[in-house]
Structure 1
Amino acid sequence: MIFAAGLGTRMRPLTDTCPKPLIPVAGRTLLDRALDLGRDAGAGRIVVNTHYLGNRIAAHLAGQDVAISDEPGTILDTGGGLRQALPLLGQGPVMTLNPDVVWTGPNPLTALNAAWREDMEALLMLVPLARATARQGAGDFAMDTQGRISRWGDHVYGGAQIIRPDRLAQIPDRVFSLNHLWDLLIADGRAHGIVHPGGWCDVGYPDAIPLAERMLHG
Protein backbone atom coordinates (compact mmCIF):
# COMPACT_ATOMS: atom_id res chain seq x y z
CA MET A 1 0.00 0.00 0.00
CA ILE A 2 1.23 3.47 -0.92
CA PHE A 3 0.05 6.29 1.34
CA ALA A 4 -0.89 9.16 -0.97
CA ALA A 5 -3.76 10.84 0.92
CA GLY A 6 -1.80 13.47 2.84
CA LEU A 7 -2.40 17.20 2.54
CA GLY A 8 1.25 18.00 1.82
CA THR A 9 1.22 21.11 3.99
CA ARG A 10 5.00 21.16 4.45
CA MET A 11 5.42 21.15 0.67
CA ARG A 12 3.45 24.34 0.07
CA PRO A 13 3.26 26.30 -2.18
CA LEU A 14 4.01 23.40 -4.56
CA THR A 15 1.02 21.48 -3.20
CA ASP A 16 -1.44 24.33 -3.58
CA THR A 17 -2.40 22.89 -6.96
CA CYS A 18 -0.60 19.52 -7.09
CA PRO A 19 -0.83 16.58 -4.67
CA LYS A 20 2.55 15.87 -3.13
CA PRO A 21 2.86 12.36 -4.63
CA LEU A 22 2.76 13.88 -8.13
CA ILE A 23 5.62 16.30 -7.53
CA PRO A 24 8.54 15.37 -9.80
CA VAL A 25 12.02 14.64 -8.51
CA ALA A 26 14.71 14.26 -11.17
CA GLY A 27 12.03 14.02 -13.84
CA ARG A 28 9.88 11.33 -12.21
CA THR A 29 7.00 11.78 -9.79
CA LEU A 30 7.33 10.59 -6.22
CA LEU A 31 4.35 8.30 -6.76
CA ASP A 32 5.87 6.68 -9.84
CA ARG A 33 9.10 6.10 -7.94
CA ALA A 34 7.13 4.36 -5.19
CA LEU A 35 5.23 2.27 -7.74
CA ASP A 36 8.54 1.22 -9.29
CA LEU A 37 9.74 -0.06 -5.91
CA GLY A 38 6.55 -2.01 -5.31
CA ARG A 39 6.52 -3.63 -8.73
CA ASP A 40 10.22 -4.43 -8.61
CA ALA A 41 9.67 -6.12 -5.22
CA GLY A 42 6.98 -8.34 -6.75
CA ALA A 43 3.91 -6.87 -5.05
CA GLY A 44 0.92 -8.97 -6.09
CA ARG A 45 -1.47 -6.05 -5.85
CA ILE A 46 -0.91 -2.36 -5.20
CA VAL A 47 -3.33 -0.01 -3.47
CA VAL A 48 -2.97 3.77 -3.31
CA ASN A 49 -5.11 5.77 -0.91
CA THR A 50 -6.25 9.24 -1.91
CA HIS A 51 -7.84 12.31 -0.34
CA TYR A 52 -6.36 15.72 -1.17
CA LEU A 53 -6.66 16.34 -4.94
CA GLY A 54 -7.43 12.65 -5.25
CA ASN A 55 -8.90 13.11 -8.71
CA ARG A 56 -5.47 14.16 -9.96
CA ILE A 57 -3.90 11.01 -8.56
CA ALA A 58 -6.70 8.84 -9.98
CA ALA A 59 -6.19 10.37 -13.43
CA HIS A 60 -2.44 9.75 -13.18
CA LEU A 61 -3.06 6.09 -12.35
CA ALA A 62 -5.71 5.53 -15.02
CA GLY A 63 -5.01 2.40 -17.05
CA GLN A 64 -2.55 0.99 -14.51
CA ASP A 65 -3.16 -2.11 -12.44
CA VAL A 66 -3.48 -0.13 -9.22
CA ALA A 67 -6.49 -0.04 -6.89
CA ILE A 68 -7.55 3.22 -5.27
CA SER A 69 -8.86 3.51 -1.73
CA ASP A 70 -10.42 6.96 -1.70
CA GLU A 71 -11.01 8.88 1.53
CA PRO A 72 -13.43 11.58 0.34
CA GLY A 73 -14.58 12.88 3.71
CA THR A 74 -12.26 12.90 6.69
CA ILE A 75 -8.69 11.91 6.03
CA LEU A 76 -8.12 8.67 7.97
CA ASP A 77 -4.37 8.97 8.67
CA THR A 78 -2.08 6.00 8.06
CA GLY A 79 -3.71 3.53 10.46
CA GLY A 80 -7.28 4.31 9.51
CA GLY A 81 -6.31 4.45 5.85
CA LEU A 82 -4.66 1.03 5.96
CA ARG A 83 -7.65 -0.48 7.74
CA GLN A 84 -10.06 0.90 5.14
CA ALA A 85 -7.90 -0.51 2.33
CA LEU A 86 -7.67 -4.05 3.72
CA PRO A 87 -10.49 -5.46 1.53
CA LEU A 88 -8.49 -4.34 -1.52
CA LEU A 89 -5.19 -5.67 -0.18
CA GLY A 90 -6.29 -9.18 0.75
CA GLN A 91 -5.16 -11.42 3.58
CA GLY A 92 -1.81 -11.53 5.33
CA PRO A 93 1.08 -9.13 5.91
CA VAL A 94 1.13 -5.88 3.94
CA MET A 95 4.04 -3.89 2.56
CA THR A 96 3.46 -0.17 3.04
CA LEU A 97 5.39 2.68 1.50
CA ASN A 98 5.45 6.44 1.99
CA PRO A 99 6.01 8.04 -1.42
CA ASP A 100 7.56 11.26 -0.11
CA VAL A 101 11.04 9.78 0.27
CA VAL A 102 13.70 8.88 -2.27
CA TRP A 103 16.04 5.91 -1.97
CA THR A 104 19.32 4.84 -3.49
CA GLY A 105 20.89 1.42 -3.11
CA PRO A 106 18.92 -1.82 -2.67
CA ASN A 107 15.14 -1.78 -3.05
CA PRO A 108 13.93 -1.41 0.56
CA LEU A 109 10.84 -3.57 -0.04
CA THR A 110 12.91 -6.40 -1.49
CA ALA A 111 15.23 -6.22 1.52
CA LEU A 112 12.27 -6.29 3.92
CA ASN A 113 10.84 -9.34 2.17
CA ALA A 114 14.17 -11.14 2.48
CA ALA A 115 14.43 -10.36 6.22
CA TRP A 116 10.78 -11.06 7.13
CA ARG A 117 10.09 -13.91 9.57
CA GLU A 118 6.79 -15.44 10.56
CA ASP A 119 7.31 -14.53 14.24
CA MET A 120 7.33 -10.82 13.34
CA GLU A 121 4.32 -8.55 13.31
CA ALA A 122 6.13 -5.52 11.93
CA LEU A 123 9.47 -5.04 10.20
CA LEU A 124 10.45 -1.43 9.58
CA MET A 125 13.18 -0.12 7.32
CA LEU A 126 15.31 2.25 9.37
CA VAL A 127 17.90 4.83 8.40
CA PRO A 128 20.61 6.09 10.78
CA LEU A 129 19.86 9.69 11.67
CA ALA A 130 23.36 10.69 10.58
CA ARG A 131 22.57 9.49 7.02
CA ALA A 132 18.99 10.76 6.85
CA THR A 133 19.21 13.50 4.22
CA ALA A 134 16.82 16.45 4.74
CA ARG A 135 15.46 14.94 7.93
CA GLN A 136 14.15 17.54 10.36
CA GLY A 137 13.98 16.53 14.00
CA ALA A 138 15.29 13.70 16.16
CA GLY A 139 15.37 9.97 15.56
CA ASP A 140 12.36 7.68 15.90
CA PHE A 141 13.61 4.33 17.15
CA ALA A 142 16.39 2.41 18.83
CA MET A 143 17.14 -1.20 17.93
CA ASP A 144 18.55 -3.96 20.14
CA THR A 145 20.89 -6.78 19.14
CA GLN A 146 17.93 -8.99 18.18
CA GLY A 147 16.54 -6.34 15.83
CA ARG A 148 13.65 -5.41 18.11
CA ILE A 149 12.80 -1.73 18.07
CA SER A 150 11.85 0.66 20.87
CA ARG A 151 10.86 4.29 20.92
CA TRP A 152 13.43 7.08 20.66
CA GLY A 153 16.91 6.51 19.37
CA ASP A 154 19.23 7.40 16.54
CA HIS A 155 17.34 5.67 13.74
CA VAL A 156 14.68 7.23 11.52
CA TYR A 157 11.71 5.32 10.13
CA GLY A 158 12.39 5.28 6.41
CA GLY A 159 8.79 5.00 5.27
CA ALA A 160 8.83 1.33 4.20
CA GLN A 161 7.68 -1.66 6.22
CA ILE A 162 5.97 -5.03 6.29
CA ILE A 163 3.19 -5.22 8.87
CA ARG A 164 0.51 -7.65 9.95
CA PRO A 165 -2.75 -5.70 10.05
CA ASP A 166 -4.62 -8.04 12.43
CA ARG A 167 -4.41 -5.79 15.48
CA LEU A 168 -5.91 -2.84 13.64
CA ALA A 169 -9.26 -4.25 14.73
CA GLN A 170 -8.29 -3.57 18.37
CA ILE A 171 -8.06 0.19 17.81
CA PRO A 172 -11.49 1.81 18.26
CA ASP A 173 -10.72 5.13 16.58
CA ARG A 174 -11.69 5.71 12.98
CA VAL A 175 -8.85 8.17 12.36
CA PHE A 176 -5.47 7.15 13.76
CA SER A 177 -1.80 6.84 12.93
CA LEU A 178 0.06 3.57 12.53
CA ASN A 179 2.07 4.76 15.52
CA HIS A 180 -0.75 3.37 17.68
CA LEU A 181 -0.31 -0.08 16.16
CA TRP A 182 3.47 0.11 16.45
CA ASP A 183 3.15 0.90 20.16
CA LEU A 184 1.08 -2.25 20.68
CA LEU A 185 3.65 -4.36 18.85
CA ILE A 186 6.65 -2.75 20.55
CA ALA A 187 5.12 -3.49 23.96
CA ASP A 188 4.97 -7.18 23.02
CA GLY A 189 8.42 -7.28 21.45
CA ARG A 190 6.93 -8.02 18.03
CA ALA A 191 8.19 -4.97 16.13
CA HIS A 192 11.57 -5.25 14.43
CA GLY A 193 13.80 -3.19 12.19
CA ILE A 194 16.58 -3.50 9.65
CA VAL A 195 18.90 -0.74 8.41
CA HIS A 196 18.96 0.51 4.83
CA PRO A 197 22.57 0.58 3.57
CA GLY A 198 22.01 3.10 0.79
CA GLY A 199 20.94 6.70 0.49
CA TRP A 200 17.67 8.16 1.75
CA CYS A 201 16.13 11.60 1.50
CA ASP A 202 12.96 12.97 3.08
CA VAL A 203 11.24 14.93 0.31
CA GLY A 204 8.81 16.64 2.65
CA TYR A 205 9.43 20.31 1.86
CA PRO A 206 10.50 22.23 -1.29
CA ASP A 207 14.15 22.76 -0.33
CA ALA A 208 14.58 18.99 -0.02
CA ILE A 209 13.97 18.41 -3.74
CA PRO A 210 17.43 19.55 -4.92
CA LEU A 211 19.00 17.52 -2.09
CA ALA A 212 17.16 14.41 -3.30
CA GLU A 213 18.16 15.07 -6.91
CA ARG A 214 21.80 15.52 -5.92
CA MET A 215 21.67 12.22 -4.04
CA LEU A 216 20.10 10.43 -7.01
CA HIS A 217 22.74 11.74 -9.38
CA GLY A 218 25.49 10.50 -7.09
Structure 2
Amino acid sequence: MRHPTPPATTRADALLLAAGRGERMRPLTDTCPKPLLTVRGRPLLAWHLDALARAGVRQVLINTAWLGERIPAALGYTYRSPFGPVALSYSMEGRDFGRALETAGGIARALPHLDDVFWLAAGDVYMPDFPFEAAARQRFAASDALAHLWLVPNPPHHPRGDFGLDAQGRALDLPADDPRPRWTYSSVALLRRALFAPPWCDIPAGNPQGVSAPLAPVLRRAMAAGRVTAEVWSGTWTDVGTPERLAALDGKPLSSLL
Protein backbone atom coordinates (compact mmCIF):
# COMPACT_ATOMS: atom_id res chain seq x y z
CA MET A 1 0.00 0.00 0.00
CA ARG A 2 1.23 3.49 -0.83
CA HIS A 3 1.13 6.17 1.82
CA PRO A 4 0.93 9.69 0.37
CA THR A 5 2.47 12.43 2.45
CA PRO A 6 0.15 15.32 3.30
CA PRO A 7 0.67 18.62 1.45
CA ALA A 8 3.34 20.92 2.84
CA THR A 9 2.36 24.21 4.48
CA THR A 10 5.10 26.12 6.35
CA ARG A 11 8.39 24.39 5.77
CA ALA A 12 10.59 23.51 8.73
CA ASP A 13 14.13 24.85 9.14
CA ALA A 14 15.37 21.73 10.97
CA LEU A 15 14.76 17.99 11.09
CA LEU A 16 15.47 16.05 14.29
CA LEU A 17 15.85 12.30 13.84
CA ALA A 18 13.94 10.40 16.52
CA ALA A 19 12.68 7.25 14.80
CA GLY A 20 15.20 4.58 15.82
CA ARG A 21 14.58 1.61 18.10
CA GLY A 22 17.67 2.18 20.25
CA GLU A 23 18.57 -1.50 20.52
CA ARG A 24 21.86 -0.87 22.36
CA MET A 25 20.02 1.24 24.92
CA ARG A 26 17.68 -1.54 25.98
CA PRO A 27 16.03 -2.13 28.41
CA LEU A 28 15.60 1.65 28.81
CA THR A 29 14.15 1.98 25.32
CA ASP A 30 11.68 -0.87 25.76
CA THR A 31 9.25 1.64 27.23
CA CYS A 32 10.67 5.04 26.23
CA PRO A 33 11.87 6.39 22.86
CA LYS A 34 15.59 7.03 23.14
CA PRO A 35 15.33 10.78 22.33
CA LEU A 36 13.04 11.21 25.37
CA LEU A 37 15.56 9.68 27.79
CA THR A 38 16.70 12.35 30.21
CA VAL A 39 20.20 13.81 30.48
CA ARG A 40 20.75 16.12 33.46
CA GLY A 41 17.04 16.23 34.11
CA ARG A 42 15.82 16.99 30.59
CA PRO A 43 14.92 14.89 27.53
CA LEU A 44 17.66 14.62 24.95
CA LEU A 45 15.46 16.29 22.34
CA ALA A 46 14.97 19.31 24.59
CA TRP A 47 18.69 20.15 24.45
CA HIS A 48 18.57 20.40 20.63
CA LEU A 49 15.29 22.31 20.69
CA ASP A 50 16.65 24.90 23.11
CA ALA A 51 19.82 25.31 21.04
CA LEU A 52 17.77 25.75 17.86
CA ALA A 53 15.46 28.25 19.57
CA ARG A 54 18.47 30.19 20.86
CA ALA A 55 19.63 30.48 17.22
CA GLY A 56 16.24 31.78 16.09
CA VAL A 57 14.88 28.60 14.50
CA ARG A 58 11.11 28.55 14.94
CA GLN A 59 9.91 25.58 12.83
CA VAL A 60 11.20 22.07 13.61
CA LEU A 61 10.11 18.72 12.18
CA ILE A 62 10.71 15.50 14.17
CA ASN A 63 10.51 12.05 12.59
CA THR A 64 9.26 9.18 14.75
CA ALA A 65 8.71 5.43 14.59
CA TRP A 66 9.47 3.35 17.70
CA LEU A 67 6.94 4.37 20.39
CA GLY A 68 6.50 7.36 18.13
CA GLU A 69 3.21 8.58 19.55
CA ARG A 70 4.96 9.28 22.85
CA ILE A 71 7.09 12.06 21.37
CA PRO A 72 4.26 14.44 20.38
CA ALA A 73 2.49 13.43 23.58
CA ALA A 74 5.53 14.61 25.55
CA LEU A 75 6.52 17.69 23.53
CA GLY A 76 3.23 18.79 21.98
CA TYR A 77 3.11 21.02 18.91
CA THR A 78 4.64 24.14 20.44
CA TYR A 79 7.84 23.76 22.42
CA ARG A 80 8.17 26.52 25.01
CA SER A 81 11.88 27.26 25.13
CA PRO A 82 13.39 29.98 27.33
CA PHE A 83 14.57 31.44 23.99
CA GLY A 84 11.12 31.57 22.41
CA PRO A 85 8.46 29.17 21.16
CA VAL A 86 9.25 26.55 18.51
CA ALA A 87 6.47 25.11 16.34
CA LEU A 88 6.81 21.32 16.10
CA SER A 89 5.50 19.00 13.41
CA TYR A 90 5.98 15.26 13.03
CA SER A 91 6.72 12.73 10.32
CA MET A 92 5.13 9.58 11.76
CA GLU A 93 6.98 6.73 10.05
CA GLY A 94 5.80 4.13 12.53
CA ARG A 95 2.17 5.09 12.06
CA ASP A 96 2.45 5.26 8.27
CA PHE A 97 4.72 2.28 7.57
CA GLY A 98 5.06 0.31 10.80
CA ARG A 99 8.82 0.90 10.97
CA ALA A 100 11.58 3.47 10.74
CA LEU A 101 12.83 4.31 7.24
CA GLU A 102 16.52 4.86 8.16
CA THR A 103 18.09 8.27 7.76
CA ALA A 104 17.90 8.94 4.00
CA GLY A 105 14.48 7.28 3.76
CA GLY A 106 13.24 9.36 6.68
CA ILE A 107 14.60 12.60 5.22
CA ALA A 108 13.01 11.82 1.85
CA ARG A 109 9.71 11.17 3.61
CA ALA A 110 9.91 14.53 5.38
CA LEU A 111 11.28 16.46 2.38
CA PRO A 112 8.03 18.18 1.28
CA HIS A 113 7.87 19.77 4.74
CA LEU A 114 11.50 21.00 4.84
CA ASP A 115 13.02 24.26 3.65
CA ASP A 116 15.40 24.25 0.67
CA VAL A 117 18.27 24.40 3.21
CA PHE A 118 17.71 22.76 6.58
CA TRP A 119 19.51 21.65 9.72
CA LEU A 120 19.72 17.94 10.51
CA ALA A 121 20.54 16.46 13.92
CA ALA A 122 20.10 13.07 15.54
CA GLY A 123 17.86 13.18 18.59
CA ASP A 124 20.11 10.84 20.58
CA VAL A 125 23.22 13.05 20.50
CA TYR A 126 24.05 15.42 23.37
CA MET A 127 25.51 18.72 22.05
CA PRO A 128 24.09 21.36 24.41
CA ASP A 129 26.34 24.21 23.28
CA PHE A 130 26.16 23.69 19.51
CA PRO A 131 25.17 27.13 18.12
CA PHE A 132 23.13 26.28 14.97
CA GLU A 133 24.33 29.66 13.70
CA ALA A 134 22.24 31.55 11.16
CA ALA A 135 25.51 32.78 9.62
CA ALA A 136 26.62 29.19 8.99
CA ARG A 137 23.32 28.50 7.24
CA GLN A 138 23.74 31.62 5.11
CA ARG A 139 27.30 30.66 4.11
CA PHE A 140 26.16 27.20 3.17
CA ALA A 141 23.18 28.52 1.18
CA ALA A 142 25.55 30.78 -0.78
CA SER A 143 27.91 27.89 -1.63
CA ASP A 144 27.52 25.11 -4.20
CA ALA A 145 27.78 22.39 -1.52
CA LEU A 146 24.94 19.92 -1.11
CA ALA A 147 25.84 19.15 2.51
CA HIS A 148 27.99 20.64 5.26
CA LEU A 149 28.94 18.26 8.07
CA TRP A 150 30.19 18.88 11.57
CA LEU A 151 32.84 16.33 12.51
CA VAL A 152 34.14 15.54 15.99
CA PRO A 153 37.26 13.84 17.40
CA ASN A 154 36.83 10.09 17.32
CA PRO A 155 35.31 8.68 20.53
CA PRO A 156 36.65 5.43 22.05
CA HIS A 157 33.78 3.40 20.60
CA HIS A 158 34.48 4.65 17.05
CA PRO A 159 38.27 5.01 16.79
CA ARG A 160 38.47 4.81 12.97
CA GLY A 161 36.16 7.75 12.39
CA ASP A 162 34.06 8.34 9.28
CA PHE A 163 35.42 11.03 6.96
CA GLY A 164 38.54 12.99 6.17
CA LEU A 165 38.86 16.70 5.49
CA ASP A 166 41.03 18.47 2.92
CA ALA A 167 42.66 21.91 3.08
CA GLN A 168 39.72 23.46 1.19
CA GLY A 169 37.22 22.24 3.76
CA ARG A 170 35.79 19.43 1.64
CA ALA A 171 34.78 16.17 3.29
CA LEU A 172 36.61 13.10 1.99
CA ASP A 173 35.53 9.47 1.84
CA LEU A 174 38.98 8.02 2.47
CA PRO A 175 39.82 4.40 1.61
CA ALA A 176 40.59 2.12 4.54
CA ASP A 177 44.36 2.17 3.93
CA ASP A 178 44.63 5.95 3.59
CA PRO A 179 46.85 7.30 6.42
CA ARG A 180 45.24 10.75 6.54
CA PRO A 181 43.25 11.62 9.68
CA ARG A 182 39.55 10.89 9.92
CA TRP A 183 36.90 12.34 12.17
CA THR A 184 33.53 11.08 13.30
CA TYR A 185 30.36 12.54 11.82
CA SER A 186 28.61 14.26 14.73
CA SER A 187 25.12 13.75 13.20
CA VAL A 188 24.69 17.53 12.82
CA ALA A 189 24.63 18.88 9.27
CA LEU A 190 23.23 21.48 6.95
CA LEU A 191 21.61 19.86 3.91
CA ARG A 192 19.96 20.96 0.68
CA ARG A 193 16.79 19.39 -0.58
CA ALA A 194 18.67 18.92 -3.88
CA LEU A 195 20.83 16.24 -2.22
CA PHE A 196 17.76 14.00 -2.17
CA ALA A 197 17.23 14.00 -5.93
CA PRO A 198 19.07 12.15 -8.73
CA PRO A 199 21.94 11.53 -9.22
CA TRP A 200 22.56 11.52 -5.47
CA CYS A 201 19.33 9.87 -4.25
CA ASP A 202 16.60 8.01 -6.16
CA ILE A 203 13.84 8.11 -3.53
CA PRO A 204 10.93 10.37 -4.61
CA ALA A 205 10.22 13.35 -2.38
CA GLY A 206 7.69 12.26 0.21
CA ASN A 207 8.88 8.64 -0.07
CA PRO A 208 5.33 7.36 -0.67
CA GLN A 209 6.44 3.72 -0.85
CA GLY A 210 8.34 3.87 2.43
CA VAL A 211 11.78 3.00 1.05
CA SER A 212 14.33 2.44 3.82
CA ALA A 213 17.80 3.78 3.02
CA PRO A 214 20.86 5.03 4.94
CA LEU A 215 22.33 8.49 4.49
CA ALA A 216 26.02 7.56 4.17
CA PRO A 217 25.86 6.33 0.53
CA VAL A 218 24.09 9.54 -0.51
CA LEU A 219 26.78 11.63 1.17
CA ARG A 220 29.56 9.54 -0.36
CA ARG A 221 28.21 10.07 -3.88
CA ALA A 222 28.15 13.83 -3.29
CA MET A 223 31.64 13.71 -1.70
CA ALA A 224 33.02 12.02 -4.82
CA ALA A 225 31.80 15.04 -6.79
CA GLY A 226 33.35 17.51 -4.30
CA ARG A 227 29.92 18.73 -3.15
CA VAL A 228 30.22 18.06 0.61
CA THR A 229 32.04 20.41 2.96
CA ALA A 230 32.84 19.94 6.64
CA GLU A 231 34.44 21.40 9.72
CA VAL A 232 35.59 20.00 13.06
CA TRP A 233 33.53 20.75 16.18
CA SER A 234 35.49 20.71 19.43
CA GLY A 235 32.64 21.43 21.84
CA THR A 236 30.67 19.05 24.03
CA TRP A 237 29.50 15.98 22.11
CA THR A 238 28.30 12.56 23.24
CA ASP A 239 26.60 9.87 21.20
CA VAL A 240 24.22 8.62 23.90
CA GLY A 241 24.11 5.12 22.46
CA THR A 242 24.29 2.92 25.56
CA PRO A 243 23.08 2.98 29.16
CA GLU A 244 26.71 3.27 30.25
CA ARG A 245 27.20 6.53 28.30
CA LEU A 246 23.92 7.90 29.63
CA ALA A 247 24.93 7.09 33.21
CA ALA A 248 28.35 8.69 32.68
CA LEU A 249 26.75 11.92 31.43
CA ASP A 250 24.59 12.11 34.53
CA GLY A 251 27.38 11.06 36.87
CA LYS A 252 25.26 8.17 38.16
CA PRO A 253 25.96 4.48 38.68
CA LEU A 254 24.60 2.32 35.88
CA SER A 255 22.49 0.39 38.36
CA SER A 256 20.43 3.52 39.03
CA LEU A 257 19.14 3.49 35.43
CA LEU A 258 18.33 -0.20 35.01
2:221 counterpart residue number: 184
Contact 1:122 1:164 in 2 (8 A): yes
Q: CA deviation at 1:46?
A: 0.5
Q: CA deviation at 1:11?
A: 0.6
Name which of 120, 124, 134 aligns with 1:96. Answer: 120
2:188 counterpart residue number: 160
Deviation per residue, 1:89-145 (Å, 9 max, x gap): 23x1111011211125442x227436524222110011021xx3x644520111011
Task: Give the Cα separation in 1 of the matches to 2:139 and 2:236.
Answer: 19
Q: CA deviation at 1:154?
A: 2.5
Deviation per residue, 1:142-197 (Å, 9 max, x gap): 10111111124421111100011213132335211111220121011010111112
Distance 1:145 1:213, change over 3 A: farther
Q: Which moved more, 1:182-191 or 1:193-202?
A: 193-202
Aligned length: 209
Q: Which moved more, 1:170-179 or 1:139-148?
A: 170-179
Contact 2:47 2:127 in 1 (8 A): no
Distance 1:106 1:167, change over 3 A: closer
1:126 counterpart residue number: 151
Name which of 219, 230, 236 aligns with 1:199. Answer: 236
Task: Give the Cα separation in 2 of the matches to 1:23 and 1:106.
Answer: 19
5+ long unaligned stretches in structure 1: none
2:105 counterpart residue number: 80
Q: Which moved more, 1:176-185 or 1:15-24?
A: 176-185
Contact 1:120 1:192 in 2 (8 A): yes
Structure 2 letter corresponding to 1:143: L
Task: Give the Cα separation in 2 of the matches to 1:33 and 1:114.
Answer: 23
5+ long unaligned stretches in structure 2: 1-14, 79-86, 175-180, 204-210, 252-258
Percent identity of equivalent pairs: 35
Distance 1:28 1:87, change over 3 A: same
Using structure 1 for the length normalisation, give the TM-score. Answer: 0.88
Question: Higher helix share goes to which structure?
Answer: 1
Using structure 2 for the length normalisation, give the TM-score. Answer: 0.75
Name which of 170, 183, 203 aligns with 1:148. Answer: 170
Q: CA deviation at 1:35?
A: 1.2
Structure 2 letter corresponding to 1:145: A
State whether structure 2 residue 65 is matched by structure 1 residue 51.
yes
Distance 1:49 1:143, change over 3 A: same
Task: Give the Cα separation in 1 of the matches to 2:238 and 2:250.
Answer: 9
2:50 counterpart residue number: 36
